[in-house]
Each structure stands twice: as structure tokens, then as C-alpha cells.
Amino acid sequence: MLLIHQRLAELYTISCMRPLTPAELTEQQHCLHANSVYCWEISRLNMEEQLAEQTGDALWQEEIQAQLAEVRTSGKAGRRRK
């Protein structure tokens, strides 16, 4: 779990008890945006890994798996193969 996911959970819990402040609403939007970017990156890498597997490109598949691990732990996109 990334910190943005933890913060989204906190903001959701707060919103169940009271309306969020303008600053909290802004923070929630930032977290939602970061989460969207994260989800699309994971999706892209999963599709590329599937393609690498189907084409039998083991080296490419290993590189993608390393990128997936990096994104899942840091939230940042990994290096792309050139």
C-alpha cells in the first residue's frame, strides 16, 4: 500500500464524521489523481508483461516484472526498455 492509499482511507474516514475542509478536499483530489496515475501504470505494465509472455520474450518480461515491483513499492514508473 502506498502512502496515498493510506491518506485516502484517512480522508474517507474523516468525511464520514464531518465535511472535509477545503484543504482536505484539495488533498483528496491530489491523492485521487496520484492513485489514477498509479492504476494506469500498473495496468499498462501488466498488459506489456502479458505481451512479453505471449511472444516468448523472457528478457523483456523480466524487465517489466522489475518495473512492476518498483511501481508497487515506490509508486513511481520504472525505466522503460529502449
pLDDT (tens digit, 0 to 9) for every residue of the chain, 82 residues total? Answer: 789 999 999 999 999 999 999 999 999 999 999 999 999 999 999 999 999 999 999 999 999 999 999 999 888 865 665 5
Instruction: Give the Cα separation of 72 and 15 in Å (integer).
Output: 27
Per the confidence metrics, is the pTM higher than 0.85? Answer: no
**Cα separation values, 27 from 18, 30, 31, 37, Å:** 16, 5, 6, 15
Which pLDDT belongs to residue 80? 63
